[in-house]
Structure 1
Amino acid sequence: MNRTTAKRIISFMILCILPLTFYAQKTKKVCGEYIYYVPTNQSLEQAKAIALDRAKIKALADEFGTIVSQTNSTVITNENGKTDNRFFSLSGSEVKGEWLENEGEPQYEISYEQNMLTVKCSVCGKAREIKNSSVNFKAMILRNGTSERFNSSEFHDNDFMYLLFQAPVDGYVAAYLIDETPTAYCLLPYQNDSDGQQAVKHGQEYIFFSPEKALEEVNLVDQYSLTCTGTVEQNQIYVIFSPNPFIKATDNLNGKYMPRQLNYKDFTEWLSNCRKLDQQMSIKILHMEIRP
């Protein structure tokens, strides 16, 4: 190898590394805190999940700002035994930043104020400013039906679940269910997809987990009937989309009729690494509960 060729290769390597270095510098550590006043019809686990979400949103709003002119926080009053709940109006889609990963475990303080249960959540994590390069897509959880009118977040034992998806550009999609343990279950790509990718075409509406709605090129569709034998379960569906190819996380088969799975820590590390390298990757988190 002559000296000129070596210089060209080194220059090329530097050019490849610089964008990743520059991008990594754009992540920031942010911290947020939120006190949630729990309505009487919510469980402690539900309240902790809501408090965590809102602590993250508050941290992003404080660091990067919002795209709405006014925001409100939850105000719950209890006068003469009557509870008045004004909902938190700021959503994750209205802040100019996005949460990449937690740093450490969220901290909770449970207490009572004026006979009302309160959950205080403090959390820190890595985040980045949204530069409007991510893609806005449509994703809905469907209960016992394959059209939009079956959109629901409430399921019962033995209900069937489907995922409606549509994107404005060609790309790739994955879906994971996170349960309360927490464990991550890979719902999409399907188990028989050996390449670990689920490609989608722009503008086309997909109904995943339904054999009747499957495309001709799909050989085997995974179907999901939800089960709940005890108390109400709170789950989340992570729908991940990018116009750029990405490979699902490394997972394991744990039971004949169960989706492939991995522990939550490994899932979040995989997702964080994907998002650090792909600024166009978008995520929607859909909340759902399963009742006996």
Structure 2
Amino acid sequence: MGRIIYIIGILLLLPLLSYAQRVKQVCGEYTYYAEGNESPNQAKLKAWEGAKVEALAREFGTIVSQSTTQSETLANGEESSYFSQLSSTEVKGEWLEDVGEPEYEMEFVDDMLVVKCRACGKARELSNEAVDFEALVLRNGTEKKFADVSFKGGDDMYLLFRSPADGYVAAYLVDETPAAYCLLPYMSNAEGQQPVEHGREYIFFSEAKAEQGSGAVDEYTLTCAGDIERNRLYVIFSPEPFTKALDSQVSDALPRQLSYEDFSKWLGTCRKRDKKMGVKVMHIEIKK
């Protein structure tokens, strides 16, 4: 009897070991040449993103896709056809969490800020198990036609969300500090989970679009302290239950927050445990 239990235990462990082996530590370097109106923090962020992409591409490779469009024009009584092709490259891996702090080298070359970044993290090859979903940032309106990522100080922000399966969703805004702010679940939510139904379109951060009995809704008006700010909105969905990260209420004027390092560790742990969890990151620009 003991032998049977032992064999069964090994068989149950094998899928877990196989999955764990697919998580690898990767490192990459990237040099970013900043634009004239970018702050050092903004340039460091873009260099860091580039280093992660370079690391993923080196380890897992890339996918090059190409689309062709045809248009026809009529001039001087003659028809002409034009063909145009658009190529795009995507990495075949996904970044799960950071390992250590990124390393930066900064210098000015011909009055241009140049930032070199080296970053390491844990990553895995993309699979088809993560659930695809729709997430759009909306500016000053609650319909899909208001989708936009370019804001001005004083603009209202909403989130459109739709999934093909029942599940749970969370949203975090990461600023240039970097700090991570929990926008969803709402502050009044005591369970730490935001359930959603399949096929249903949700407009979050709008009291007018909220469900009855859903509790207090947090609404957001974006501000800009300098000339321009660049933030990232992480939208996380899984058909499996997950609870938001452990955070703190630092200010009554701001959402609950935690350090980006703690957020990255929480998200990496969730994704390693849940192969069906999907993440979409949208870059938001705010100008004065």
Q: Residue 68 of structure 1: SS of its match in structure 2?
A: strand
Q: Which runs of 5+ in 2 are unaligned?
A: 67-86
Counterpart selection for 2:97 from 94, 101, 105: 101
User: CA separation in 1, counterparts of 2:110 and 2:261?
Assistant: 37
Q: TM-score scaled to structure 1, two decimals?
A: 0.83
Q: What is aligned with 1:282?
A: 278
Residue deviations 1:255-283, cap 9 Å, x none?
33421222222211111110111111111
Please tell me whether the aligned partners of residues 157 and 220 of structure 2 are also in contact (alpha carbons under 8 angstroms).
yes
Aligned to 1:174: 170
1:189 aligns with 2:185: yes
Matches of 1:12 and 1:242 in 2, distance apart?
29
Distance change in 2, residues 1:262/1:112 (3 Å): closer
Equivalent residue for 2:127? 131
CA distance in structure 2 between the aligned counterparts of 1:272 and 1:163, rounded to whole angstroms = 23
CA distance in 2, matches of 1:9, 1:55: 46
Question: Secondary structure in 1 aligned to 2:237?
Answer: strand
Please report the TM-score for the alignment, with normalisation by the length of structure 2: 0.84
Q: CA deviation at 1:165?
A: 1.0
- Give 1:13 shift: 5.3
Give the 5 Å matches for 1:1-292. 4=1, 14-68=10-64, 94-113=90-109, 116-292=112-288
* Shift in Å, 1:10: 5.8
Deviations along 1:133-172, one digit per CA (max 9) or x if unpaired, are 1122211111111112222222233321111111122221
- Deviation of residue 234 (structure 1)? 2.2
Q: Secondary structure at the match of 1:222?
A: coil
Paired letter, 2:35 = P
Task: Name the structure 2 match of 1:78.
Answer: none
CA contact (8 A) 1:51 1:120 kept: yes
How many residues in Structure 1 have an aligned counterpart in Structure 2? Answer: 268
| Matched position secondary structure for 2:56 | helix
CA displacement at 1:217 relative to structure 2? 4.2
Question: Retained in 1: the 8 A contact 2:27–2:120?
Answer: yes
Q: CA deviation at 1:108?
A: 1.8
Identity of aligned residues (%): 56
In 1, Cα distance between the equivalents of 2:226 and 2:15?
A: 50
Q: Distance in 2 between matches of 1:237 and 1:227?
A: 15
Aligned-pair Cα RMSD in Å: 2.3
Rounded to whole Å, the distance in 2 between the matches of 1:9 and 1:257 is 56
CA offsets, 1:223-253, max 9 Å, x none? 1122334443222111111111111111222
Once the two structures are TM-superposed, the CA of residue 123 in structure 1 deviates from its matched residue by 1.1
Distance 1:240 1:289 in 2: 20
Q: CA 1:168 to 1:23, structure 2 compared with 1: closer, same or farther past 3 Å?
A: same
Shifted more, 134-143 versus 35-44: the winner is 35-44
Q: Is the 8 A contact 1:20 1:277 kept in 2?
A: no
